[in-house]
């Protein structure tokens, strides 16, 4: 009871409530005692020595020990006895033993009786005490406070559990929240796919511990396995089985298994050590029933949180695998060629998008590709994956960019034709680079529907490679442009997607002019630095605004290897 508002301690004293009726009271009529008989409030009259001179039935019911003619002490209400003797406190609340269980008594001092003839033989200095049974009132307050506390606990648990989408962290939270509110220790056993995870928290045990065993190990713990599938009838060996599974010592004392309601995603059981709520609560004890409800609600919440986390984990894994296969590739270290790239997808949580680049290092010529399929997000990324794989396969058969691009066009159209898909277009620049040996690098380029590449000379001069072509994947008879470029040491050829020039800041698009103006500052810098610098420029231009996918690939004849 400690620390709860409104709960009286034994014999607690109180300042008097509303002032008693002004003394002196009108003398009681001659049939005074009869008048008091009908009072619901207990009335006790004591003389100066503490001897009870009168007590109505209500008072005798409340304090069965009370005897008229004997000292008030025999009633076993210590604070009343003291108040009678000392005159203070004038009001009190106390818990008294009663054959029907504890009763809460509230008492207050009545007016002095003066010399008039109260029952049975009034004497100067007598005192009157009104006693009221407030047990019911207290029970209601306690129930309310306890209900509030349970609601607050569940609300906090819900908030804490549902903020997490990672299964292990959720498991840790489930047990951490249970201690100490529900039990002195809590262990969660969770089966998801072929893995069994356990998490344990103990009072004063620090960060919850977590471990894993294979599903095959469940054969050694039959009762626990039964509990996992919702069976609550448990053998006496539950604690030992738990010790077997976790390798942690069992805590002495009662344990209780609470299977998590079936979620269809995970199977789980929370085992409580020294639980607050006993296994079989008395049916007529509302408090115990409420504790039991609390436990049930808690375990249900834990179950949905675990299921949500497990589902998220499956989806996230799916996404991560896909993302891994579609993410921008690492650049090779090619002798005689320096590569640089930057990539910033529109959906930043995904890290994949419709823009893509690829570099494939070869003995003589290294091939590269940068493109953009229409759309954003995962749909676009999947299509870009198809383009990239086709490119990887086709370039083994045909290395001339001017012939490779039409092949790719046909491959994309064929792929769409065999599926129920609307045609998806792509734009791209592809080509290859050959270090000539004197430090220069020869580029062959082909393009379809893509912004033309730029060449930045070491002098700071920027040239646009005049090459254009039709969209890739649009029509079979599409025509594509070809070009050749010679890079001298330090020169860079930049391929970029339209997300760069169409980046829209607070005012305007970034645009080709700003791009061309930003380049000369990077003259002679390594290709990687050029791309980093441009990405930074574009992102600060955006100033937090949404953007399309942004991709850049820079091919450079390195300076130092002349």
Q: Which residues are near other proteins by CB under 8 A?
A: 160, 163-169, 173, 207, 312-313, 316, 320, 348-349, 351, 505-507, 521-522, 525-526, 528-529, 532-533, 536, 539-540, 543-544, 560
| CB 276, CB 149: distance < 8 Å | no
Minimum Å gap between C-beta 311 and other proteins is 12
Question: CA-CA distance, 431 to 445, in Å (whole number)?
Answer: 4
- CA-based nearest residue to 153, from 261, 294, 292: 294
- The residue among 101 and 544 lying less far from other proteins, judged by its C-beta, is 544
The two three-digit tokens of residue 186, written as one number: 């809590």
DSSP 438: S
Q: Which of 212, 221, 205 is nearest to 190 (CA)?
A: 212
**Shorter beta-carbon distance to other proteins: residue 22 or 333:** 333
- The minimum distance between CB 518 and other proteins, in angstroms, equals 9
Q: Is 326:381 a contact under the CB 8 Å cutoff?
A: yes
* Residue closer to other proteins (CB basis): 26 or 349: 349
Quick one: 34 or 529, whose CB is closer to other proteins?
Answer: 529
d(CA 49, CA 62): 22
**Contact at 8 Å (CB) between 351 and 323?**
yes
* 25 burial level (CB within 10 Å; 0-12, 13-18, 19+): middle
Task: Select 314 or 398, whichever has its Cβ closest to other proteins.
Answer: 314
- In the complex, least distance from residue 291 CB atom to other proteins, rounded to whole angstroms: 24
Handedness of CA 372, 376, 378, 382 (dihedral sign): negative
Nearest to 104 by CA among 145, 63, 60, 148: 63
- Minimum Å distance from CB 150 to other proteins? 19
The SS3 assignment for 349 reads coil
- Closer to other proteins by CB, 69 or 544: give it: 544
Phi and psi of 516, rounded to 5°?
A: -65, -35
Among candidates 526, 533, 531, 500, which has minimal Cα distance to 514?
A: 500
Please state the closest distance from residue 199 (CB atom) to other proteins, in A: 13
Distance of CA 85 to the CA centre of its chain: 61
Shortest CB 250 distance to other proteins, Å: 24
The two structure tokens encoding residue 461: 């001069």
Q: Pick between residue 7 and residue 523 the one whose CB is nearest to other proteins.
A: 523
Minimum CB separation of residue 383 from other proteins in Å reads 22
Of 169 and 488, the one with the shorter C-beta distance to other proteins is: 169
Measured from the CB of residue 103, what is the shortest distance to other proteins in angstroms? Answer: 40
């Amino acid at each position: 009871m400690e620390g709860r508002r409104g709960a009286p301690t034994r014999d607690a004293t109180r300042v008097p409530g509303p002032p008693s009726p002004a003394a002196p009271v009108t003398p009681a009529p001659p049939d005074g005692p009869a008048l008091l008989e009908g009072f619901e409030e207990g009335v006790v009259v004591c003389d100066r020595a503490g001897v009870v001179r009168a007590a109505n039935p209500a008072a005798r019911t409340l304090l069965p020990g009370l005897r008229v003619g004997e000292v008030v002490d025999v009633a076993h209400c210590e604070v009343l006895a003291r108040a009678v003797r000392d005159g203070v406190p004038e009001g009190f609340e106390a818990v008294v033993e009663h054959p029907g269980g504890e009763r809460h008594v509230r008492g207050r001092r009545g007016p002095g009786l003066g010399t008039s003839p109260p029952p049975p033989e009034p004497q100067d200095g007598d005192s009157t005490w009104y006693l009221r049974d407030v047990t019911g009132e207290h029970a209601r307050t306690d129930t309310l406070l306890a209900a509030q506390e349970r609601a607050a606990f569940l609300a906090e648990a819900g908030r804490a559990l549902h903020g997490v989408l990672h299964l292990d962290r959720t498991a840790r939270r489930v047990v951490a929240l249970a201690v100490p509110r529900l039990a002195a220790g809590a262990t969660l056993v969770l089966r998801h796919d072929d893995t069994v995870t356990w998490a344990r928290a103990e009072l004063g045990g620090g960060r919850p511990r977590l471990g894993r065993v294979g599903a095959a190990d469940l054969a050694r713990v039959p009762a626990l396995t039964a509990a996992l599938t919702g069976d609550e009838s448990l053998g006496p060996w539950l604690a030992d089985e738990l010790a077997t599974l976790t390798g942690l010592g069992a805590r002495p004392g009662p344990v209780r298994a609470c299977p998590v309601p079936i979620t269809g995603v995970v199977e789980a059981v929370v085992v409580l050590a020294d639980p607050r709520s006993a296994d079989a609560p008395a049916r007529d004890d509302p408090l115990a029933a409420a504790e039991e409800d609390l436990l049930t609600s808690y375990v249900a919440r834990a179950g949905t949180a675990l299921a949500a986390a497990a589902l998220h984990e499956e989806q996230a894994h799916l996404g991560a695998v896909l993302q891994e296969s579609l993410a921008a590739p690492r650049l090779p270290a090619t002798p005689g060629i320096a590569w640089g790239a930057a990539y910033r997808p529109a959906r930043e949580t995904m890290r994949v998008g419709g823009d893509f680049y690829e570099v494939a290092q070869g003995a003589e010529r290294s091939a590269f590709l940068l493109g953009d399929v229409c759309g954003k997000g995962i749909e676009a990324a999947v299509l870009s994956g198809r383009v990239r794989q086709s490119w990887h396969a086709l370039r083994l058969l045909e290395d001339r960019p001017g012939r490779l691009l039409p092949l790719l066009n046909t491959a994309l159209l064929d792929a769409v034709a065999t599926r129920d898909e609307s045609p998806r277009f792509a734009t791209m620049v592809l080509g290859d680079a050959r270090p000539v040996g004197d430090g220069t690098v020869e580029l062959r380029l082909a393009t379809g529907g893509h912004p033309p590449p730029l060449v930045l000379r070491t002098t700071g001069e920027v040239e646009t490679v005049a090459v254009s072509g039709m969209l890739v994947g649009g029509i079979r008879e599409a025509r594509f442009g070809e070009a050749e470029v010679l890079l001298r040491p330090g020169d860079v050829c930049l391929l970029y997607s339209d997300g760069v020039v169409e980046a829209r800041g607070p005012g305007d698009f970034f645009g080709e002019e700003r791009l061309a103006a930003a380049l000369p500052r990077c003259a002679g810098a390594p290709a990687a630095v050029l791309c980093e610098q441009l990405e930074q420029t574009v992102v600060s231009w955006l100033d937090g605004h949404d953007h399309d996918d942004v991709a850049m690939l820079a091919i450079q004849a390195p300076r130092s290897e002349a």
